């Protein structure tokens, strides 16, 4: 719903029955959250909708020093905005591999340099940083997740866990919930449809054999997934990330909500 205003999105969420929203800084820039805090809180309260997290997705590891510094400053402001509006989580990306470096080397050098002070800043303010495990970033697989936690061993560092990015790679998304118990601060409810006949013909390195879909239309076992999350102690939201071209924004979100209600 990127073309809708914040007011329109919150009104839709309240009417549809959503308990909370992961609010993009595109809809709610940090400056607005900090400058109009009471108005923002009143808007959400009016529609009975909470804020599960602020979504500040950006590459904080840009090789251009000026761009990296600007992105880092904006992220600090997003942490301040989260405090202001009363949400405990800021979601972001762990960063893209720096050109000429492996993901492992980028983690050891650039990620550590950028996120060590940011993690301390967030920790001091009671905010958790949740990295979405989007595969082109540094969070492609669990060995890299472990490297990130080792590079910045702060309790403020964790994950916005998205099973859709794991399942098509053949990574066990259920085992990952157990492996990162206590580090899952947020979760994306997005499914993946995998087409066996296309995979058999084209192989896993080609495209077109998988796509993101609304929960219930793919291969994620949502009952098992939600159960595993609850067993791990996670009691946060399931944030529907709608990237399914088969449905309009509103229809897809409503279908996803209806399906996930079977498990929560």
Could you report the per-residue pLDDT of 195-209, keeping only the tens digit for each?
999 999 999 999 999
Of the pLDDT bands very low, low, confident and very high (cuts 50, 70, 90), residue 169 is: very high
Q: Residue 1 has what pLDDT?
A: 74
pLDDT higher than threshold 90 for residue 91 = yes
Question: Domain extents for the chain?
Answer: 6-260
Of 176, 79, 68, give the one whose Cα is nearest residue 128.
79
Q: Which pLDDT score is estimated for 257? A: 98
Strand partners, 189: 240
Cβ atoms of 132 and 162 closer than 8 Å? yes
pLDDT in tens, 104-162: 999 999 999 999 999 999 999 999 999 999 999 999 999 999 999 999 999 999 999 99
Phi and psi, residue 189, nearest 5°: -95, 90
How many angstroms separate the CA atoms of 6 and 168, rounded? 33
Q: Is the pLDDT of residue 87 over 90?
A: yes
Higher pLDDT: 103 or 3? It is 103
Tell me: the pLDDT tens digits for 31-75? 999 999 999 999 999 999 999 999 999 999 999 999 999 999 999
Edge to edge, the sheet with strand 184-189 lists: 20-24, 50-55, 89-92, 128-132, 157-161, 184-189, 239-240
* Range 6-260 has CATH code 3.40.50.970: no
Is there a contact between 139 and 97 (Cβ–Cβ < 8 Å)?
no
Q: What pLDDT does 8 receive?
A: 97
């Amino acid at each position: 719903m990127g073309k809708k205003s914040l007011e329109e999105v919150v009104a839709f969420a309240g009417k549809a029955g959503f308990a909370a929203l992961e609010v993009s800084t595109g809809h709610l820039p940090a400056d607005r959250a900090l400058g109009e805090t009471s108005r923002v809180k009143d808007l959400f309260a009016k529609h009975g909708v909470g804020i599960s997290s602020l979504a500040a997705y950006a590459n904080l590891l840009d090789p251009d020093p000026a761009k990296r510094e600007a992105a880092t400053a904006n992220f600090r402001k997003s942490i301040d905005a989260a405090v202001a509006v009363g949400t405990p989580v800021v979601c972001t990306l762990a960063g893209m591999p720096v050109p000429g470096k492996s993901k492992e080397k980028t983690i050891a050098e650039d990620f550590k340099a950028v996120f060590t002070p940011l993690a301390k800043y967030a920790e001091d303010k009671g905010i958790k940083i949740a990295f979405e495990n989007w595969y082109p970033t540094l969070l492609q697989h669990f060995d890299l997740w472990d490297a990130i936690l080792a590079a910045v061993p702060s309790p403020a560092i964790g994950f916005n866990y998205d099973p859709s990015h794991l399942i098509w790679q053949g990574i066990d998304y259920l085992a990952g919930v157990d492996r990162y118990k206590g580090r899952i601060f947020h979760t994306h409810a997005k499914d993946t449809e995998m087409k066996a006949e296309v995979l058999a013909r084209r192989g896993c390195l080609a495209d077109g054999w998988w796509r993101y879909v609304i929960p219930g239309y793919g291969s994620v076992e949502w009952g098992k997934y939600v159960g595993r999350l609850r067993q791990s102690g996670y009691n946060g939201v399931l944030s529907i990330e709608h990237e399914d071209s088969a449905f309009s924004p509103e229809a897809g979100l409503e279908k996803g909500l209806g399906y996930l209600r079977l498990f929560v």
